[in-house]
Each structure stands twice: as structure tokens, then as C-alpha cells.
Structure 1
Amino acid sequence: MTLISPRRKRRLKLISARWQRRVLFVAGGLVVGAAAVALAKLADEAQLAFSWLLSQSRYAALLMTPAGFALSVYLTRRFFPNAQGSGIPQAIAARHLSDTRARNALVSIRIAIGKIVLTLLGLLCGASVGREGPTVQVGASIMFALGRLSPRRQPGLILAGAAAGVAAAFNTPLAGIVFGIEEMSRAFETRTSSLIIATVIAAGLTSLALMGNYTYFGSTPIALGRGIDWLAVPLCGVLGGAMGGLFSRILITLARGSAGPAGQAIKRYPLVFALLCGFAVALCGLISGDTIYGTGYAQVKAALETGTPLPQNFGLLKFLATTFAAISGIPGGIFAPSLAVGAGLGANVASLFHDTPLAPILLLGMVSYFAGVVQAPITAFVIVTEMTDNHAMVVPVMMASLIAYGTSRLICEEGLYHALAKGFVAKAEQG
């Protein structure tokens, strides 16, 4: 009988642990990709159901939207605490916590289920929310849950799950990796870099297998033409950055609460506040001709592909509807609605350039507002470039993103997600 030396045993054990870790990350990526595809398909069905309701009566939104907001906030507070909002701040906060129980309160399978159900409820009642941010929290929750099954601590799981969520939600693998570097961690972790990339690849392959190879907003190959057209770059950068910074400042201010009568009333009567926010969204919807409900994806894609101008009030009304949805406390993301707001602002700027194609200026508006909201300029231009397959606009999109970032910082000194994450960290440490 051949005996294995202690040294060989240690080596075999080390190799086994490495392969277990690799399998864990890749398997997690496959599950995250499947969850992202399921949420995407269900989100489309929820928006179609709400559109059918509006086809029966436009004014049904005055009842359905406020009631849905109130119900969503009740279910969130009663059964799924920490599932409110986009979910990205919770994933960032979970990475900063070391206590497993505190992390579990922010990223868990229960939270993931609640996030999916309540995001769909928001879309079903016409909320101006997206599914991409929730997919990040769902991805982080799945990876964290899988990590707890492992006998050894696995660093980077939450980061990998979040990056895979972005990659699968938008079919933008590069953007998923950049998001993980710039927004989730602010520094790449060398120890887990290859495993995070493997997780993103697994999630992306799952999305491709289930939904095929697609570009989120279609293909828009048109670029800026004459020299004067380039004036749209700083115009969109400043306008989008200012509006994005304003949006972030509103959310951060209300999240931190106020000692005044209004702040106390919101804290004391959250369901009434959600009801009023839902009613405000319904009013925005009626004024807009039913164009600002949901993610805004259909309106923006049609404008990019056909060159059909968006209504002049689309950007402002979408901004208001997204703001009311975000401050109400319902679960739902701001990625897709922010891109829609930016497209609306781009359409306003495009009205100043009569002979310029619409699509390039829409892209500038999209990246500018998005960069102004998240204050992650690299993530912003990579996502917009990948989701439109327009490499001819890389340089102007980069420029607009950087201008928007600088403008946003003048209005809101902190990045939205990290500012909100501090609140979850503080709450976890106090509790």
C-alpha cells in the first residue's frame, strides 16, 4: 500500500481548494445569468400588462400607480427590509461589512426573491424604475449565499456577483468588469480578478444562450458630422451632469432624513408618502401622453433606431417620475430610467442643431446624465458604447462623460451609490 507524504497531501488539498473556488465562481455566474434573464423577461411582461391597462383607460394609472407604490413599500418594510431602492448601495455596503449576519441582512436569497418580486410589482403599476440595479443586488445575494456553502471564506464573491449582474442585465460583459472596478470596489482585487472575469463570462454566456446575441439599444453607427455639431458635447455634458447631480443630491438628502416637519412626516407615514409619490408619477404619465412609465427602454430604442424625436417634455417628466419613484422607498433601479432621462435631455439639445442626426446627440445626453448620477464616468461611457454598438462615438462620448462628471461634482460632492451605502453600513453597525 502506497502512503501519500504529508507534503503531497497538503499540495493536493491546496489544488482541490483552488478548483472548488473556481467552480463556485463559475457556477455562481451561471445562476446569476439565468436570474438576470428571468427578471428581464418578467419585467417585459409586467410592462406589457400595465400598457394593456392604460389601453383600457389612461386614468387607471391615477389609482393603480399610487396603490402599487403603497403596497410595495408596505411589503418591503414588513417582509423584505433592505430591499428598497436600486440595491447597488446595499451590495457596496455588504462588501464593507465583515460580520456575516450584517451582510446577510443586505444580500441574501430572501432579499433576492423580494427584490425580484417587488421590482416587477413596481413595473406592473407604472413606476419609473429599471431592473438592472436590482439585478446587481440579486447577483451579489446569489454569490454570497453560494459562498456560505463553502467551508472556507471566499473573497470577492459579492463583487463578482454584482459585476455579473450588470453584464447579464445589459449583455455588456466589459461594462460589468468596469463597473466592478470603478463603482463596486474603487480598486481591482488582484487575488480574485481572474475569478471575477470568469464569473462575468459565465453570466454572459448564460444570457447569450437564453436570449441570443443582442445589443441593448440596437445599433446606431451614425457619428457627429460637421465641426459645429461637436458643440453638443459640452452642452450635453453640462446639462446632463447638472441634472444628474441634482437627482443624486435629492436622493442623498432625503435618505439621510431631515429634522424638520416634512422629514418627520415622511418618516412617520411612509405609506402615505409612497402613495403621494405614486400619484405624482401618474400625473407625470398623463401629461407625457403615457410615455414616461416603466424603464423608458422602448421610447429610447425607437428614437435611436428611427430618428423619431422624443417629445420636448420627455426628459423633464421622466426626470420627475424617476425622482418620485426613487424617493418613495419602493424597490427598483435607476440605470435604464437614467438613460431615458438623458436621451430626453439629448433631444432637447438636438433641437438646437437642425441638420444634425438625432442619434449621436441622444447618446451624448444618455452618457452625460448617467455619468452625472453615478459619478462613474468610465462605467458610463463603456455601458453606453457597448449597448449601442457605436464605436464611432467613443471619443465624444468619453468627453461628454468626463464633463458631466465634473459638473455633477459641483452640485453633489459624493457619488450616489457610495453615499447611500454609508447609511446601510452605519445602520448595520448600530444594529
Structure 2
Amino acid sequence: MQFPRLRMRYPVLSSSLIFRIVDIWHRGAAWILGPLLVGTMAVGLAFGGEQASKLNNWVLTAAPYSPLIFMPLGFALLAYLSRRFFPGSQGSGIPQTVAAINTLDTAKNNKLLSLRIAIGKILLTLGGLTIGALIGREGPTVQIGASIMHMFYGRGPFQNAEARRTLILAGGAAGIAAAFNTPLAGIMFAIEELSKRHAFSANSSTLITVIVSGLISLSLLGNYTYFGSTGAELDWRSGVWAILVCGIIGGGAGGLFSQLLISVSSRLPPRLANLLRNRALLFAAVCGLIVALIGIYTNGLVFGTGYQSTRLTLEDSGTLPWYFGIAKLIATLLSSVCGISGGIFAPSLAVGAGIGDNIATLFPNLATHGAIVLLVMAAYLSGVTRAPVTSFIIMMEMTDSHQMLVPLMSASVIASAISKFICPTPLYHKLAERFLPLPARFFKHE
């Protein structure tokens, strides 16, 4: 009751107080409520993805040839839903996040980041995992996290382009951290990948966002490592040849995948590109049919993220067939170019595990099986993303293999250099050009 009188007697003081209260409220909502939502969404997507994979396995067990029917239809349906109801949700979601950071558009309504897109991303990704598409949930979680944090833009102190960029960076980093339960990798992903075109200036805010979202993941899922723990070791002084071989082969394969994905997405002859654009649903159905054929030929081994197969080969408790890596690479490429929602992080790690298993079989004296698989997984991911620091930190945190720090670091750096010769433009930043306004597409590539 006394507040109006105080405001009349001390208008400057009361206005300043109100402004500070509102400012604190908006900052607290952004840096506390936002990360809570990101962490909750990430955990929900992880749980839903696990149930979707179980459902897919049950269907495959009951009817091994059913993918020939439901995968073409499912790919076409998911492509239609993403184009019709959730435009901007196609693919990984990381290119959209990168484009949103790089664009000069400061409008509140963004076509790449919104609550609608976040909801669509969750539903479509779960749909893709249910039908066995070779997609991951980690890339989508980046766009979901960035979309959630972007909701706070235009409120309180978050009014300018720098504040907008900070919110998106923090949301994307929190998404990676919560998806993999790797907080350090989330920070490095923001520095190395999302802020490649801009000076990183969101240190404390990004750290707070990653910590809070990580605590949500930790409280709901427990203190777990994505692929369990591995006892693989490699003395970098005696394992130089293993590091070189794994780095070169893994990086070359990752660069090849990136180049193929870029070529199919944006470098096709104009006539063929127009044909695929006008027949997008048919193209998605054909991709689904080919993936189904590959999956049936491999007895269902390549369907989904490949999490179980990767974990088994890391623990040396399961062997992969020689064709696993190449089959997984081809099927992942088809799942990535057909216009459905889904990331490439988890499938890329599975491809790396398959190639690593091949190298360990061909060169049994090079190093232990587990060490070679770890090195190639990190190298392949580095070759695909051209983010070597993020790649070796993700592998180290996901497998609790801190004893492999130097070998993983070395293999990732070598792989990134090899990949650059094959694919000069970083994958996510090249794909991001499709979402940028025309004048902004001609920025200089690194």
C-alpha cells in the first residue's frame, strides 16, 4: 500500500528499483529457468529415444522384412511433416543454430529457432528413431536448446544482437552437454563450432547454462557415461604409429562423408537439384527403401543410432562384421539428405567404431582393440565436424578414458587436418548457408 507513495516521493529511486528488479527477474529466468527447460527437454528426448529404439527392435524381431514397407512410408511422412508443419526442423539442427548465430537479423520471430520448431524437432526425431532411421538426438538437442534460450531474447536486458548470440550459444552448448552428459564438451562445442565466426564472449553465461542443464541430466539420469567405461590404454610414445594410422584413416573417412553430404545437399547439377526439390517426398521414400534394404541385408544391425553395437565393441565383448562401418556410413548419408529430422553425432561414432574394428582386425599388433576403436571414433567425428577439441573431449568424457587424453587429442588433430584436404569447408557451416539470407551467404570460409 505504501509503494505508490514512495514512488511519488522518490520517482527516480522507485523507477531505478523497479528497473533493477525487472532486470534481475529477466536475467534469472534466462540463466536459471532456461537451462532447467533445456536439461528437462534433453532428458525427455533421451528417454523417448531409448523407448523408440526398443519399439523398433521389437518390430524387427516380430517382422524382419517389415522395414521394406514402413521405412519408405515413414521417411516420406516425416519429410512431409517437417516441410508442412515444422519448416526449419529438417536435418541435424546444428546448421540452423549456426545460421541463426551468423545472421544479422535481430527480429524476435526467427524461422530457425522457436518453441514450435523445438516441439517439432522432438516429435520428428522420435519418429525417425522409431522407424529405425540412422539419426541421432544430439544435434537436434542443440537446436532445441538454442530455441528455448532464444525465447528470452527481446525481454529485459536481452535486446541487442550480442545478447541474442549469447543466448543461442548458451542453449546450443547446454544441449550438447545434456545430450551426452559431457559438460566440458558442451563448452568447447560453443567455442569451437558455434562461435567459429565470432569472438567467444559468453563465458560465464554459457558455463552457468551448461552447469544447470547438466545438473538436471545428472539428477534424472544419474552419473553415467554414455558408452560406459573402458580400460583401453595407449602410451603415446610407443603408439605413434597407431595414432597416425587411426587419425589418417578416420579423418579421411570423416572428410569423405562430409564432402558427400555437402555435394548431395548443395552441389548437385541444377536440373537434378530441381528434380529432387520438386519430388522431395518421393526422394525421401527412395532413401528409406535403400536404408531398409541395407538394414535387412545386415540383419538389422545398421538400423538406429548403433549405440549397442558401439558399446559392445568398445568393451571387447562383441565383434562387428567387416561391412558394418561402410554400411552404416552409406545409410547415415541417406538418412541425412532425405529431409527428415535427426543428427549425425551418434551414427558417426558408430561408423568410427566399425572402421576402428576393421583396422584392429587388419593390424592386430598396432595397439589393443579398444584403443584403436577409441582413436578412430574420435578421428572420424573430428573429420566430420572439423572440431578436433570437441571430438576428443566428447570421446574422453563418454567413455571415462582420461588415460587416453594425449592419443585422442593427437588423433583428432591429425584427422581434422586430413579432412580439410578432402572437404575444405566445415560441414555445419556449409550446410548453414542454405538458411542464411542471400547477401550473408558469401562470407569467407576458414
TM-score class, shorter:
over 0.9
- Aligned pairs for 1:176-195 (under 5 A) are 176-186=186-196, 187-190=198-201, 192-195=202-205
Alpha-carbon offset, residue 129 of structure 1: 0.3
- Could you say which residue in structure 1 is the equivalent of 2:58? 52
- Aligned pairs for 1:410-429 (under 5 A) are 410-426=421-437
User: Which residue, 408, 426, 444 being the options, matches 1:397?
Assistant: 408
Cα distance, 1:349–1:10 mapped onto 2, change above 3 Å: same
Question: 1:142 and 2:148 equivalent?
Answer: yes
Q: Distance in 1 between matches of 2:147 and 2:57?
A: 31
Task: Please provide the CA RMSD for this pair.
Answer: 2.2
Q: Distance in 2 between matches of 1:347 and 1:74?
A: 37
User: Which residue, 371, 374, 385 being the options, matches 1:363?
Assistant: 374
Question: 1:383 and 2:391 equivalent?
Answer: no
Q: Distance in 2 between matches of 1:208 and 1:428?
A: 43
Moved more, 133-142 or 295-304: 295-304
- Aligned pairs for 1:250-289 (under 5 A) are 250-289=260-299
Q: Distance in 2 between matches of 1:88 and 1:141?
A: 11
- Could you say which residue in structure 2 is the equivalent of 1:332? 342
Question: 1:127 and 2:137 equivalent?
Answer: no
TM-score between both structures, scaled by the size of structure 1? 0.94
Q: Which consecutive unaligned segments of at least 5 residues does structure 1 have?
A: none
Residue 180 of structure 2 aligns with an amino acid whose one-letter code is: F
- Could you say which residue in structure 2 is the equivalent of 1:240? 250
Alpha-carbon offset, residue 288 of structure 1: 1.8
Q: Distance in 2 between matches of 1:254 and 1:102?
A: 32
- Could you say which residue in structure 1 is the equivalent of 2:330? 320
Moved more, 356-365 or 301-310: 301-310
Alpha-carbon offset, residue 229 of structure 1: 4.7
Alpha-carbon offset, residue 255 of structure 1: 2.0
Q: Distance in 1 between matches of 2:270 and 2:172?
A: 36
Alpha-carbon offset, residue 8 of structure 1: 8.6
- Could you say which residue in structure 2 is the equivalent of 1:38? 44
Alpha-carbon offset, residue 230 of structure 1: 3.8
Q: Counterpart of 1:333 in 2: which secondary structure?
A: coil
Residue 90 of structure 1 aligns with an amino acid whose one-letter code is: Q
- Could you say which residue in structure 2 is the equivalent of 1:212? 222
Alpha-carbon offset, residue 367 of structure 1: 0.6
Paired residues of 2:98 and 2:194 also in contact (CA < 8 A)? yes
Q: Counterpart of 1:54 in 2: which secondary structure?
A: helix
Alpha-carbon offset, residue 403 of structure 1: 0.9
Paired residues of 1:172 and 1:387 also in contact (CA < 8 A)? yes
Residue 401 of structure 1 aligns with an amino acid whose one-letter code is: S
Q: Distance in 2 between matches of 1:193 and 1:82?
A: 28
Question: 1:295 and 2:301 equivalent?
Answer: no
- Aligned pairs for 1:18-29 (under 5 A) are 18=24, 20-29=26-35
- Could you say which residue in structure 2 is the equivalent of 1:65? 71
**What are the superposed Cα offsets for residues 378-405 of structure 1, whole Å, 9 maximum, x if unpaired?**
1111111111110111111111101110
Cα distance, 1:428–1:274 mapped onto 2, change above 3 Å: farther
Q: Distance in 2 between matches of 1:118 and 1:428?
A: 31
Q: Counterpart of 2:437 in 1: which secondary structure?
A: helix
Paired residues of 1:22 and 1:195 also in contact (CA < 8 A)? no
Q: Distance in 2 between matches of 1:16 and 1:263?
A: 51
Q: Distance in 1 between matches of 2:76 and 2:324?
A: 25
Alpha-carbon offset, residue 411 of structure 1: 0.7
Q: Distance in 1 between matches of 2:236 and 2:12?
A: 73
- Aligned pairs for 1:153-172 (under 5 A) are 153=159, 154-155=163-164, 156-172=166-182
Aligned-residue sequence identity (percent) comes to 47
**What are the superposed Cα offsets for residues 46-71 of structure 1, whole Å, 9 maximum, x if unpaired?**
11111111101211111111111111
Alpha-carbon offset, residue 15 of structure 1: 7.1
- Aligned pairs for 1:189-204 (under 5 A) are 189-190=200-201, 192-204=202-214
Residue 77 of structure 2 aligns with an amino acid whose one-letter code is: L
Alpha-carbon offset, residue 188 of structure 1: 5.0
Paired residues of 2:23 and 2:156 also in contact (CA < 8 A)? no
Q: Counterpart of 1:147 in 2: which secondary structure?
A: coil
Paired residues of 1:307 and 1:358 also in contact (CA < 8 A)? no
Residue 143 of structure 1 aligns with an amino acid whose one-letter code is: M
**Structure with higher helix content:** 1
Paired residues of 1:29 and 1:200 also in contact (CA < 8 A)? yes
Question: 1:106 and 2:112 equivalent?
Answer: yes
Q: Counterpart of 1:221 in 2: which secondary structure?
A: coil
**What are the superposed Cα offsets for residues 95-148 of structure 1, whole Å, 9 maximum, x if unpaired?**
122434586110001111111111111111110000000000001111111334
Paired residues of 2:309 and 2:318 also in contact (CA < 8 A)? no
Residue 287 of structure 1 aligns with an amino acid whose one-letter code is: Y
Cα distance, 1:276–1:71 mapped onto 2, change above 3 Å: same
Paired residues of 1:218 and 1:389 also in contact (CA < 8 A)? yes
Q: Distance in 1 between matches of 2:416 and 2:191?
A: 17
Q: Counterpart of 1:58 in 2: which secondary structure?
A: coil
